[in-house]
């Protein structure tokens, strides 16, 4: 990362401060909406979603953590909660026995289907409806460029 001691100009500063606020507020608000409307957390929704997109509805625990942007310990705690609710199963990996595979259950898929419309309404109301439709491709390109720089 190159060093640039030049202060942010007014436009950069405004963009950065708005983005910093978004980083904090958006996950909290999206989580509140999901909790209120579907009784599932944003993190749990993300885990269920990624499992639903995986072949056989199954992912290695470490892969699930990576896809959901959660720490290993947070993923373990969350998966244990989801197991208690009957939404996922966890078993030793059949390929090497060292790790664990997590599988979405039918009950988990049903919970995801119930949460999906709540999440869509929330994402639109909290984020996408505030971006002019004609600017949406540019917005998406900018957000993708930012997140790709994190990798």
Kindly report, residue by residue over 1-33, the tens digit of the pLDDT: 667 789 999 999 999 999 999 999 999 999 999
Question: What's the pTM?
Answer: 0.90
Q: Predicted confidence band at 133 (pLDDT cuts at 50, 70, 90)?
A: very high
pLDDT for res 97:
79
Task: Let me know: does 89 contact 83? Beta carbons within 8 Å.
Answer: yes
Query: 78 - beta bridge partners?
Result: none
Q: What is the largest CA-CA distance in the chain?
A: 56
């Amino acid at each position: 990362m190159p060093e640039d001691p030049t202060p942010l100009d007014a436009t950069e500063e405004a963009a950065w401060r708005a983005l910093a606020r978004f980083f904090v507020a958006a996950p909290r608000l999206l989580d509140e909406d999901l909790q209120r409307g579907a009784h599932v957390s944003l993190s749990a929704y993300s885990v269920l979603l990624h499992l639903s997109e995986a072949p056989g509805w199954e992912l290695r625990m470490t892969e699930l953590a990576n896809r959901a942007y959660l720490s290993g310990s947070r993923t373990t705690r969350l998966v244990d909660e989801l197991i208690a609710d009957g939404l996922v199963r966890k078993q030793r990996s059949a390929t090497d026995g060292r790790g664990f595979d997590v599988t979405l259950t039918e009950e988990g898929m049903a919970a995801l289907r119930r949460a999906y419309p709540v999440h869509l309404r929330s994402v639109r109301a909290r984020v996408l409806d505030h971006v002019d439709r004609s600017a949406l491709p540019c917005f998406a390109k900018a957000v993708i460029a930012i997140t790709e720089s994190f990798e």
